[in-house]
Structure 1
């Protein structure tokens, strides 16, 4: 079993409130948490309006599968989130 942790830090230019931040980042749990091999959480920058940090824990039978799932998450986020990814890190356990 292989485990990967994908952490993404977002910049949310022009975001003026936590409510607007939730609207921009909304649905992360629903989009990615449905997959039983993925756990999702907002892991940092919770009180800032203009930034957000999210972590995704991916479990699979091989490292290749973990890497593939992480790439799919990144691709989907780029198309759906109203913000800019400023830092992406991957850690494998």
Structure 2
């Protein structure tokens, strides 16, 4: 589910494949792409759940403004998946833990 050739931009540059972990599951990603793009390419749509009502949240704006895609990255909370680049062996978990109070 990854775009390898764009009708206007042409073929995408070759990038190294890396492994990331999201909620205990290992996925393949392209080094340097955003966490959100890597997870979407692997079929993951829900990145977190709302704290009060447990409604699913995923990628919304894709440019770092809305904070809907907050995840924990290598133990650091409230990272925006849409603007955080993937790195090899990155450990990502769903957002939560009263983040609405931040």
- Give the structure-2-normalised TM-score: 0.27
The one of the two structures with greater contact order (alpha-carbon pairs below 8 A, sep at least 6) is: 1
Higher strand share: 1
Instruction: From the CA coordinates, give the structure whose radius of gyration is larger.
Output: 2
- Give the structure-1-normalised TM-score: 0.29
